[in-house]
Chains A and B, each alone.
Chain A
């Protein structure tokens, strides 16, 4: 039965006379972890995406399996801004525990879809409340109490669809994509959506000031989270050994990768695997296995978060000194132990880049988009093998676990770069082999793999105490020579890591950002221009070590705002160390409350720094 369309009666209600805000608002669903709201939220997100509207979806969830509050926010933006919008325009109240706070967070002019059994404090008149009898609407749909609760989330999907004008066929398509393989569940969910829609249609005569309208800005695009994108990058990067210890928010990277490997990397005839995944006993073992496998010649990786980086640090330094390829993903989160494991951060920059004791510095890739996650997922292996060293990929929870729009990923155009590995045939032509001698002058020596049959190629691997022939040595000149060569190798890395992306030129103010901060910066720059007349140039960092473009950018700008999601201005500190002559130009713009960065948090300090009238900051409720 097709859903009935609302006949628009102009002038019937006050709100209808105001031009609705179209495709530029945010929806927050406040619910309880483990209550089954995820399917409902994805259906809503996908339906809007299918209507051609740019969207992003962010899950603000607690460290909990079930029972604690969780929020899902969907932002629609016709201009393509997909950073978090700090303000809530539309709220769906499904969690009694946080209802009071949630309701207070809604903007004036906003709307609230309220599960009618939930008690809330009086709501100001400039917010519209739509009361929905979720439980009552579920009664005729199923007698199963548990299902009523789970599928009840689809009621608000139907209500929102009706209120906002979300196309029914797109809801159906999105539902079908999610549940098409389970016909019973599909029918049940479908009935719930319809019940919500019918209820809204019959009862809510006051129209909300927001509309979703079809446009054509998502044609051909994909929706993906950064962790799945990174997993695809590893898959097409030819990964063969994956080791890991479960840790939020990196777990889904490896679990996605396992899914892809199982589908695409087993011999269809024999079922045998061209990969090994080992769930290690801890992160120390995980990196040990990666180094063992890398030493033996495999493309090996692990994925972790901050606590894992700390545990891996001794071995990471070993990999640096012994010169063993390794790829380490860090999906950054906040703090140790029962800190905020499910909140985002960019505070591992220094601990990853300088990880371990002794003089160490590691190449770090800084993906800022799902596509970067994919491409760096492949490129990290090339770099690790070309440079014979551990390479970090620093993502974060926002990028890794939230849903991002992206152009489809391109197939790798280059063959895998396996680095300087001598085969038996090559060894046969050489008078001798010395593992740590810099033959090419680029600081990168040649290596051999265990299993090499030519005894000339055999060497013994140790930490820092070795000479060029890999013999044990404590001679000052051997240690220093090795350290200087490693420093030279780091200079070689500057020419191999991805270059920064620069937008704009000629202005006296510049912005440097990296990782998931990118999206808020893009929006902030446009709005600074429009709202405050502040023009900026922008450099998006993609990796450490810095390339010459970074130095030039800093030198060209009188004021350089370094936007990052940590307290101690970690990237700004590295820039100051690298370019002390320009230290005074660098101005940190910091965000570190565990929430994804939003444009306003970037605009305020920059507008103030540029002497412009700062756009009023909307105070946020402590929790949100």
Chain B
């Protein structure tokens, strides 16, 4: 786990990825978060995953709401346009950006306050519409910027730093996303780069909303004994569903798994996720199973991590809208302003009233 946004410091000639960029090309501004914050490790994982898969920065837009987590898009992919929206409303911005230009890949970063409280409605509707966004929740169960209040993901019995106890049921953003029909739902831990990176890479390849709920301890307000999102607690209770390996579409599959030991998920671009069985076999294509294991794990106080649910073939929002291939944002006037003959035909209709329907009331 790294403490600050890692910088690429190659010795002589830095390594380059498949599109000729160095890891440093994916860096952003210096993090202003607390040293040790889980969010910085997630930032590092995003940078690494973007570098390794060769994302083109100009084809990415970074979006966020408000909160500690929402500051982080400034700390990665400095050569991508960014949008720090208002609290909890990043999903609507993402929806607008995506319909205006469906060629952009969107990375959205949110927090548990931003998503599970003020932005819960927009989160649900983003998922319902299946707007292609890599939606990362940096989840620490606490409001950091306002100094330590509970968020809606805090577990029952958790305490604040000051000792007050949370009695309210937590909102499980993964269970919610699965319930709402999300086609890619994963949970991970900021301290587990080995798991987080392949999940991020698969999410980049997903055409639809990809929800990644990443437990990301707050070193200042929630890293104490009473917190179920402290480093110590998460390490002790982390129960990975599988070991994950990601093989991008442009690489050959060289791993050879023994039959019955591994499940395979193919992403729309031909990339593969290999999920290697650990204690029990886990089928991430079953919604019922995903929901029941999440439910059971809560009772057992286990933090299930890994790919909880995947159905990569769902129709993304822009297919639903049946948009033209070119981005709406850059369509020329001759495409978007109908010719004079159309106006004349409409005017003729309004003269005679032919083909018009009567208005109605409402409330």
- Which A residues lie at the B interface, using CB under 8 A? 33-34, 38-39, 41-42, 46, 59, 61-65, 70, 173-174, 177-178, 180-181, 220-225, 232, 235-241, 243, 248-249, 251-252, 260, 264-265, 267, 270-276, 278, 280-282, 284-300, 314-315, 318, 338, 341-342, 401, 408-409, 411-412, 415-416, 448-453, 455, 458-463, 472
* Given A39-B358, A243-B96, A452 contacting B57 (CB threshold 8 A): no
- A sample of 11 cross-chain residue pairs with beta-carbon separation below 8 angstroms, ordered by A number, consists of A63-B362, A238-B337, A272-B324, A274-B336, A276-B99, A289-B93, A292-B96, A318-B85, A450-B80, A458-B57, A460-B83
Give the distance in Å from the alpha carbon of A449 to the alpha carbon of B80 in the complex: 11
The interface residues of chain B lying within 8 Å CB-to-CB of A295 are: 83, 93, 96-97, 100
In the assembled complex, the CB of B32 is this many whole angstroms from the nearest CB of chain A, namely: 9
The reply to whether A461 and B83 form a contact with Cβ atoms under 8 Å apart is yes
- Which B residues lie at the A interface, using CB under 8 A? 57-59, 61, 73-74, 78-86, 89, 91-101, 103-104, 121-122, 124-125, 129, 318, 321-325, 327-331, 333, 335-338, 340, 342-343, 346-347, 350-356, 358-363
In the assembled complex, the CB of B109 is this many whole angstroms from the nearest CB of chain A, namely: 13
In the assembled complex, the CB of B104 is this many whole angstroms from the nearest CB of chain A, namely: 6
Give the distance in Å from the alpha carbon of A216 to the alpha carbon of B360 in the complex: 30
* Given A271-B322, A463-B84, A264 contacting B92 (CB threshold 8 A): no
The reply to whether A314 and B321 form a contact with Cβ atoms under 8 Å apart is no
Report which of B78, B83, B84, B103 forms a contact with A292, defined as CB distance below 8 A: B83
CB nearest to A181 among chain B residues = B355
The reply to whether A273 and B323 form a contact with Cβ atoms under 8 Å apart is yes
> By CB atoms of chain B within 10 A, which of A46, A448, A450, A452 has the most?
A450
In the assembled complex, the CB of B322 is this many whole angstroms from the nearest CB of chain A, namely: 5
Give the distance in Å from the alpha carbon of A84 to the alpha carbon of B12 in the complex: 82
The interface residues of chain B lying within 8 Å CB-to-CB of A270 are: 324
The reply to whether A265 and B363 form a contact with Cβ atoms under 8 Å apart is no
The reply to whether A450 and B97 form a contact with Cβ atoms under 8 Å apart is yes
Shortest Cβ-Cβ A-B pairs, 10 listed? A292-B96, A288-B92, A63-B363, A297-B329, A298-B100, A450-B81, A238-B336, A222-B350, A289-B96, A296-B100
* Given A236-B337, A264-B338, A38 contacting B78 (CB threshold 8 A): no
The reply to whether A240 and B329 form a contact with Cβ atoms under 8 Å apart is yes
The reply to whether A342 and B363 form a contact with Cβ atoms under 8 Å apart is yes
The reply to whether A241 and B363 form a contact with Cβ atoms under 8 Å apart is no
The reply to whether A288 and B82 form a contact with Cβ atoms under 8 Å apart is no
The interface residues of chain B lying within 8 Å CB-to-CB of A232 are: 343, 346
The reply to whether B89 and A315 form a contact with Cβ atoms under 8 Å apart is yes
* Given A289-B92, A314-B86, A461-B83, A276 contacting B323 (CB threshold 8 A): yes
The reply to whether B96 and A281 form a contact with Cβ atoms under 8 Å apart is no
The reply to whether A177 and B328 form a contact with Cβ atoms under 8 Å apart is no
The reply to whether B101 and A235 form a contact with Cβ atoms under 8 Å apart is no
Give the distance in Å from the alpha carbon of A70 to the alpha carbon of B358 in the complex: 15
The reply to whether B347 and A450 form a contact with Cβ atoms under 8 Å apart is no
Give the distance in Å from the alpha carbon of A282 to the alpha carbon of B318 in the complex: 20
Give the distance in Å from the alpha carbon of A501 to the alpha carbon of B207 in the complex: 52
The reply to whether B347 and A300 form a contact with Cβ atoms under 8 Å apart is no
The reply to whether B351 and A222 form a contact with Cβ atoms under 8 Å apart is yes
The reply to whether A274 and B101 form a contact with Cβ atoms under 8 Å apart is no
The reply to whether A272 and B96 form a contact with Cβ atoms under 8 Å apart is no
Report which of A63, A284, A291, A451 forms a contact with B58, defined as CB distance below 8 A: A451
In the assembled complex, the CB of A403 is this many whole angstroms from the nearest CB of chain B, namely: 8
